Structures are given as C-alpha cells and as structure tokens.
A and B are shown apart, each in its own frame.
Chain A
Amino acid sequence: MGGELLRTALYDIHREYGAQFVEYAGWEMPIRYTSIVEEHRRVRASGGLFDVSHMGRLRIRGADATALLDRVTTRPIASMQAGQCRYCLMTNERGGARDDVIVSRIEEDEYLVVVNAANREKIVSHLREVGSSMRFDLVDETLKTSMLAIQGPRVMEFIGRFSEEIPSLKRFRFTVKNMMVFKAMVSRTGYTGEDGVEVILPNSAVGLALKMLRDEMDPADGESVLGPVGLGARDTLRLEAGMPLYGHELGEDISVLSSGMDFAIKVDKEASFIGQEALQREVEAGGPSRVIVGLDVEGRRTARHGMAVMCGGRRVGHVTSGCMSPMLEHPIAMALVDREVSDVGTELAIDAGRASLGARVRALPFYKSGS
C-alpha cells in the first residue's frame, strides 16, 4: 500500500502510552502497548480500551435507505426498530462475503453502518452502484469521527458511574447521549466475547472523552479498571471468542454459510438480497461443502493462516486463524475444512512446514466470558 498512512484522532495518546504501531488497512494503528498477552488478560479480568477508529462508519439516510440495506444484507432491515443494531453479512452474487457489518437503525430512514477498514471503499462503491436509482444520501463519516471499544467484565459497572442508562441497554441496542457539547452514540456491542460498549463520537470530542476515562486507565497498573489494548490482543480476543475476521474466516470466495454465523443469515428473507439465490441453491443441495471449525492444537507451536489441514494424508482444508490462547494456554485455531471432517472430536493434522501439528475439532467459542 503506497501513500501516507491515516492516523486516528487518538494517535498522540497512543504514543504517550508507549504504543508500538503497525500498518493495518492503510492506517497506522497500535498493535500493543505493553504485551499482547497482558492486554488480552486485562480485558478478560477487568477491561480494556481499544481505538477502533479505523473501522468504516457510513451514514445512510433517505426514503430508500431501508430498501438499499435490505438489498445488500443477509438479515431483515425493515423489521429493525430505531435503537437496534444488527450484525449482518453483505454478500456477493455467489453467496460469498463482501463484508461483515453492523447496521444500526437511527431513525425510520436513517442508519449507521460500521464496515471493516479494508473494505470501506469497496462497500461505498457497492452501495452507490446497487442504489444508483434509489433515493438516499451516503456520507462516509470515518475520518471525522472516532470509535472506541470499551470491553471487559468490569466495564458496565464502571460506565454506571457516568450514566444510568447505558448499563441498562440490552445487547445490540444503542443510545445517543448528549455529552455537554457533543453527541456520542453508545452501543452494547463488541468483538471480544466480553460485555462492553462501542462509542462513536466526533474527533473533536476525543480529548474530553479520554479525560473521563484516564483516571481509570493505566497500562501498568493491574488495579485500574481499564488499560489500553492494541490490535494484537483484539485479534487474540476475537479468536478465543470464536468470532470470524474478514479476510480469514470470511471472504468473497467463501460461502457465508460456511462461516457458522447462521443467526446472521436469513436465506428465506422476504426482501430479496444479492446472493440469496446462490445461498438457497446451496441449502437445497444439502448445505455448504466446507465449514469453519475450531481446533485445539497439540504442543506449543502456533498454526498460522494458510497452513494446510490434513486428514489421513489428504488435504481437507486450511487454517484461517491461529494463536497461542492466552486464557487456555495452548494453541488454538480456526480452519475452513471439508464438512465430512468437521464433527467435534475429529482428529486432524496441520502441516506447519518442518513439523506436523496434531489438532482436534472442537465446539466454538474457545472461551466464554466468566469461565
């Protein structure tokens, strides 16, 4: 990727906290502050603050906004209530994923769609193309706003000091708070398997918002509720929680039915959507031929994205994500494998170049909050 990397409004704060940076989807993002494993455990034990401002934030408004979103996503949009968020897949004609997104219904004709950083421009073009004869406005608010994720078992109690309303939000609901001079959208959503919120606010308000959090945020102090968490731990947390990552478990060439995100795919949705016919045919033919599974890996070595998965000397798939699980303390992985070898308990092997790693199919998630 050429050109200047984008920086979030929290860049200087990351530096102050000693972040090590990495390029991610055109952004210069903190990968860690202290240690990925420490940050991961902090989130599981108490709480962490993540800068996820690189995620795309698209506001879609107008008479056909609902019809447009219903046309491109796998779940019903028209039936959503204002204040509700819905995790959806955006499919291509073949039933593969263009992206996985969270759609929030702000009002009858207004939505905010959060998309993956790497897919932002692709999705903007896709929406404009599909909606070329529809009535709506699309504003990409990514560069003007920031997005923070605050996640962990002590987070809601902590937020209760500032707001009575937010801790009473149900999962996948949001509220818009007027905070003195700015508005913040707070949703009870996340990508760690822990309770918590995601907050979208104007860049100009980041300093003020951070001031509220900073007394409880010390990267080195295990007693404080929150610590800053980088993209490194964000990835290991979502993997332990069994959540897919676009480009790994999801992609244009993987049927969304393979992902196991069945709750997010309504194949018989009333409003027809792009990719629906392909998915219906796949269901009629008996379901996806390949599926995403969880693997417990033997030994201490980490399986990596792209390594072949073998069964009886035959290649049956590939690893999509892997890490040393900080909570389970053994290596875990997700893999896309032939359905015949996807039953829980099936013994497989991972080709790690000079070594072969034993692996056994297990149920997802690897880790449940509070266990």
Chain B
Amino acid sequence: MAIPDDRVYSRTHEWYKVEGDTLTLGLTRHAVDQLTDITYAEMREPGTSLEAGDVVGEVESVKTTSDVYCPCVGEIVEVNPELESNPGIVNEDPYGAGWLCKIRISDPKGLESCLDAQAYEREIAEA
C-alpha cells in the first residue's frame, strides 16, 4: 500500500502531517500491522504541553502496548473523539480517520530529523 507523501515519518512509526501551526499525528500502516488489532488508545489530555520526544499517549493491541511520541515542542489541542468508542478505526484507516491527536506547534525543531515517504519506505523495507 502506498505511503502518503503529504506528511513526514518517524523511525518509531508515527506519521506527522503539518498544516499551518497544527500537526496531526497518527500511526503508519506498518505500525498498525505489527501491532495487530488495536483494542485501546489513550492520548494525553488537550492542554498538555509537550517537549520533543515526550510520550503523547499509548496504544494497546491484542499483543502489546506501545507509546506514541511527539516530534516537536507544542501543546495537544485535540484528541480523536472516535478512539474511545472505536479504537479499531486506527487499523481500518491509519492515515485518515484513524488519526490520534492534533498538536499546536510552538517549536518545529525535531520535525527536521523525520523521514519523507520514500525514506520511510526504505526504512521499513530494510527492517
């Protein structure tokens, strides 16, 4: 499946899509395939301030629990309201309706070291 080229990727398999000063964060198809069925996702509350590398939340699947990381300095402004009632949406549409949260960027440094779609595709091909 094609990896969208309108966003950047982390080596820990998050995607980050920047629009203005807002960053939308989610997990890649590769990540959700590895996690298998997602049973629970909890992001930190809107209003939480974050440093680059901070944990934004946790995603649980039938097999395991994984932390999700923030790439930049900012503040959580919105958590996907669908997650609570239907966490499986992350499996169904990880690049779209299965987004996890939105962050208002106050310092984008950290996003620079993210991968573009082609580099991420190579990364997971080598793994």
Residue positions of A touching B, CB distance < 8 A: 20, 31-32, 35-37, 232, 236, 300-302, 304, 323-324, 331, 354
Contact = CB atoms under 8 A, between A and B. Distances in A.
A356 to B, nearest CB: 14
B91 interface: yes
Contacts of B87: 300
A36 B62 contact: yes
Interface string B25-68: 00000000110110110100000000000000010101111000
Secondary structure class of chain A's binding surface, majority of residues: mixed
A31 B36 contact: yes
A331 B62 CA distance: 10
Given A35-B91, A232-B63, A302 B40 contact: yes
Contacts of A31: 36, 63
Contacts of A236: 62
Nearest to A324: B39
Nearest to B58: A354
Contact of A300 (B34, B36, B37, B40): B40
B40 A323 contact: no
B60 A36 contact: no
Contacts of A300: 39-40, 87
A64 to B, nearest CB: 43
A232 B33 contact: no
B126 to A, nearest CB: 17
B40 A36 contact: no
A20 B40 contact: no
Contacts of B42: 301
A28 to B, nearest CB: 15
Q: Which of A32, A304, A324 has the most CB of B within 10 A?
A: A324
Contacts of B60: 301-302, 324
Contacts of B37: 35-37
Contact of B36 (A232, A301, A302, A354): A232
Contacts of A331: 39
A324 B38 CA distance: 10
B36 A35 contact: yes
Contacts of A323: 62
B63 to A, nearest CB: 6
Interface of B: 33-34, 36-37, 39-40, 42, 58, 60, 62-65, 87, 91
Given A32-B36, A301-B42, A302-B62, 10 more contacts: A20-B36, A35-B37, A36-B63, A300-B40, A300-B87, A302-B39, A324-B40, A324-B62, A331-B39, A354-B58
A36 B65 contact: no
A37 B39 CA distance: 10
A107 B58 CA distance: 54
A137 B2 CA distance: 56
22 contacts: A32-B36, A36-B36, A36-B37, A36-B63, A37-B37, A37-B62, A232-B36, A236-B62, A300-B40, A300-B87, A301-B40, A301-B60, A302-B62, A302-B65, A304-B64, A304-B65, A323-B62, A324-B39, A324-B60, A324-B62, A331-B39, A354-B58
Contacts of A232: 36, 62-63
Contacts of A324: 39-40, 60, 62
Contacts of B91: 35
A323 B65 CA distance: 11
The 9 closest A-B pairs by CB, nearest first: A324-B39, A36-B62, A300-B40, A37-B37, A36-B37, A35-B37, A36-B36, A302-B60, A301-B40
Residue among B33, B62, B63 with the most chain A CB within 10 A? B62
A79 B53 CA distance: 63
Contact of B33 (A20, A37, A301, A354): A20
Contacts of B65: 302, 304
Contacts of B62: 36-37, 232, 236, 302, 323-324
